[in-house]
Amino acid sequence: MTPEPSADAPAHAIETVFRIESPRIIAGVARIVRDVGIAEELAQDALVAALEQWPREGVPGNPGAWLMATAKHRAIDLVRRRERYARKLVEMGRDLEATAPHGHIDEPADPDDIDDDLLRLVFTACHPVLSAEARIALTLRLLGGLTTVEIARAYLVPEATVAQRIVRAKRTLAAKAVAFEVPYGPEREARLGSVLEVIYLIFNEGYAATAGDDLLRPALCEDALRLARVLAELMPKEAEVHGLAALLEIQASRSAARTGPSGEPVLLRDQQRSRWNRLLIRRGFAALARAEAVSTGGGPGPYVLQAAIAACHAHAHTYEETDWARIATLYGLLAARTPSPVVELNRAVAVSMAEGAEAGLVLVDALAGESALRGYYLLPSVRGDLLVRLGRVEEARGEFERAASLTRNERERGLLLGRAEECG
């Protein structure tokens, strides 16, 4: 006997469609109401309408368009109904009619304008007026389609904390009257940095979790990678956008090789490179080529430089074959472009591989007084590795133990304590 379909099946299908389409729906509605908080509420109203109508009337041929049309109809009704939007309604004029579900959207007159609602939503959610934590939470909520519970689980913080960040972020955007638009000229370049930073931070938390029992959180890496790919499609002439996409593609290619059978971390030099995802590497190389093709004067930006470093690792068949001299040079360029003690620490590692452990140790010891690295577990970890290579194992053991005491990730702590024991 054929089992009857679950009563929850239609609802699950509708919610799946909504999760895929929600970023564009929110973006389209936000262009009308100019408020991302209200736009999200109206998108949720459209979901409720679908849950009521589709099981009874059937799923429409284009469910995404149905949801968008329903949400936009409600947005227009809201603008017309509320007196406080009366003046805005007049000002919007033709633009309001153009955003109606069956209206035609004219091409922008300004060739520098990027007429895409989703891109406007990206720049709004990542506005520098918000804290980094708020930007990340709002971006994952509006553009990643994650629930508050999922974001809280990913970042190991209480659900209430994430909910407060999102609510405050929406209120701040409204209170500061942040325009729902893509900025122009120098302001666009400045704001784009915030957008790229948010995507990069999301990826990094998935690639090397700050705290908790797992080294990797693949879902966050996938969300960041998807956002980077979307942004690259929306802004094809921005070299740094392609640079970030290239960096994330190549970094993500190593994920399967970065942990062992029990979830323990596997260092880069010990990874089975046959497990690296060649498709992602090819995508990364292609994105890096696009970045170089659209680069203008002034030299490569920080994400293009980091992607070039990642490409050096991907080109090498073994750890020993890596072009460490080129990587050290690229880190030098990166340090000149965006000075940072962390970049200098990475450069020290590359120098140690190209010129010897002693040369690397000199650079590492020069960073000992950096306040930004106080409490950063990778500083004693790198120093311990260099000391091992120099045969100073007793000193190395102390460095690994100190590094283990500083990390909040249990997998990293286990690795570092294991290395300390090896020095015993």
Tell which wins on pLDDT, 3 or 42. Answer: 42
Name the pTM for this structure.
Answer: 0.77
Task: Give the pLDDT score at 183.
Answer: 84
Ranking 81-85, 104-108, 235-239, 411-415 by mean pLDDT, the lowest is: 104-108
Tell which wins on pLDDT, 9 or 137. Answer: 137
The yes-or-no verdict on residue 99 having pLDDT over 80 is no
Determine the average pLDDT of the residues in 11-25. Answer: 80
Question: Who's near 350: CB < 8 A, 6+ residues apart?
Answer: 324, 327, 328, 331
The yes-or-no verdict on residue 106 having pLDDT over 50 is no
Summarize pLDDT for 394-404 with one digit per residue, the tens: 999 999 999 99
The yes-or-no verdict on residue 3 having pLDDT over 50 is no
Distance CA 36, CA 139 (A): 11
Q: Which amino acid is at 111?
A: P
Task: Give the pLDDT score at 111.
Answer: 38
Beta-ladder partners of 212: 409
Phi-psi region at 185: left, alpha or beta (left = phi > 0; alpha = psi -120 to 50):
left
The yes-or-no verdict on residue 133 having pLDDT over 50 is yes
Task: Give the pLDDT score at 96.
Answer: 46
Ranking 112-126, 186-200, 233-247, 403-417 by mean pLDDT, the lowest is: 112-126
The yes-or-no verdict on residue 4 having pLDDT over 60 is no
Task: Give the pLDDT score at 110.
Answer: 42
Q: Hey, what's the torsion of the CAs at 41, 20, 195, 253, to 10 degrees? A: 150
Summarize pLDDT for 147-160 with one digit per residue, the tens: 888 888 777 688 99
Ranking 109-113, 158-162, 199-203 by mean pLDDT, the lowest is: 109-113
Beta-ladder partners of 408: 211
Distance CA 164, CA 240 (A): 32
Task: Give the pLDDT score at 83.
Answer: 53
Residue 406 burial (CB < 10 Å; 0-12/13-18/19+)? middle
- Helical H segments across 102-235, by residue range: 117-125, 132-142, 148-155, 159-175, 185-207, 218-234
Question: Who's near 245: CB < 8 A, 6+ residues apart?
Answer: 228, 229, 231, 232, 284, 287
